[in-house]
Structure 1
Amino acid sequence: MKFFNREREINEILSILEREPNLIYFIYGSINSGKTALIKQIIENKLNDEYKVFYINFRTYLISEKREFIEAIFTTKKDDFFEKIIDKSEVLNLITKGAKILTGIPIPEVEFDKLFEEKINDAFQYLNSLLLEVKKSGKQPILIFDELQMIRDVVLNGQKYLLKELFQFLVSLTKEQHLCHVFCLSSDSLFIEYVYNAGELEDRADYILVDDFDKETALKFMDFLAEEILGKKLSDEDKEIIYSYVGGKPILIINVMGKLKHKNLKEILDLMLKEEVS
């Protein structure tokens, strides 16, 4: 399926990537507004091989303490399977010659085990040296933390220092060294505000809003999907009914349109309403 109507946000992020790294960027918006889809569209389809992306999705981990926090950052996956890395030469190959997008930060298994015995800053220094190697190879590193709010339990469990040290390190990567672009995605604007204050990010961070579609765009999206998925047009009445149920949330509109291949609209929307109430 083609990507739909995020040209403004795409162009804004591409413009940031063309410049020297200088700020941490928070990409925020309501749940299911399309933040992850947007960043994946950019890194998978809009960037050339001059970039090396390190993508970390905190949603795939239960994070409530230092060990889990480190595991989430330094565990690498390939095709949804955990990947064991034997030595530093393998790491260097991954970051200089391997795929454009890496899920997690590659680290030899023996070094990974040491991280839990050392200070958190030692883990960040390893990451810093790895990003320097990427830069030395002629590529521009990009670090992406998706579902940032999933690390809030680290703070609730009395380890607030981890959050502060993480963002002070990210400030070093951007504002001080101009080494790496950093993007943090979250639907929790209150947690972003907390991070901004706890991490002392004044003049060191900026925000990119990825909002739900307005009504006009949502109706156009339905027209687009009807042609793509169903091979036909929807009536204005059906589009109005869908919008009254799901609003401008792209993923919910996609779900409805996908189900219309096999079910009638009333059945789909009644089931969605029951699931929401239960």
Structure 2
Amino acid sequence: MQRRLLIILIILPPLFSAITNPLFAQVSGYRLQQADSLYQEKRYIQSLEQYQAILNQKEFTPAMLLKMAYIEEGLNHIGKALYYLNLYYLTTNDKLVLDKMEELATKHNLDGYKNSDADIAFSFYYDYRMPISMTLSVMSILFLSIIFYRRKKGYRPVATSVLLFALLILLLVHLNVGEKNDEGIVGEPNTYLMDGPSAGASVIAVIDEGHLVEIVGKVDVWYEISWNGNRAFIKENSLLPVRL
């Protein structure tokens, strides 16, 4: 069922990839064609190497990311499979892939993938943070213009002034909400979580690959993360930050 769902996801992206992220058009046609040919010939390791080289150049397509996830899952590299699925979701906002990620997380007892109603609401808010800012700003300017116009006509726009005040308060609160912290996926099995950014710090836990964690900060070669509500540190080469 899981692999069938991923195959469906691989088929869909070419239908809309040309009109989404501008980076898609930058992918070297020859290199991508070569990687796709290797994939079709079931030479998955070789095709994965080609796809990784393309991604290292900050170039990609949605279908490419899904194929990489498919290969990594076949190799039982669950952390990297989930990493590429997350990149695909960042690129397309395709909700269907969330089901696949949750299936993998449930199967392998991984944390960070079950979203509460509040998590979904905040995710929606951050996805549309810029349009919300623009909408509130335009509405504030509109109400301010109405107030000036009505005063010029000799009216006292009390209701409009109250609405403008409420909009400005809402805009102020909105602008003071911090950016969403980055997330990362544990990319290596038997990864040590430490209570400080040092190899000599105490070990909090030893966890498997695939867990999704919130990145709080970075100290030298250590990422500071939130783990079960507590602060922990993980070596940077053991974490895959989910960003493009």
Sort the TM-score into its range (normalised by shorter chain).
under 0.3
Q: Please tell me whether Structure 1 or Structure 2 has the larger radius of gyration of its CA atoms.
A: 2
TM-score, length basis structure 1: 0.23
TM-score, length basis structure 2: 0.25
Relative contact order higher in (CA < 8 Å, ≥ 6 apart): 1
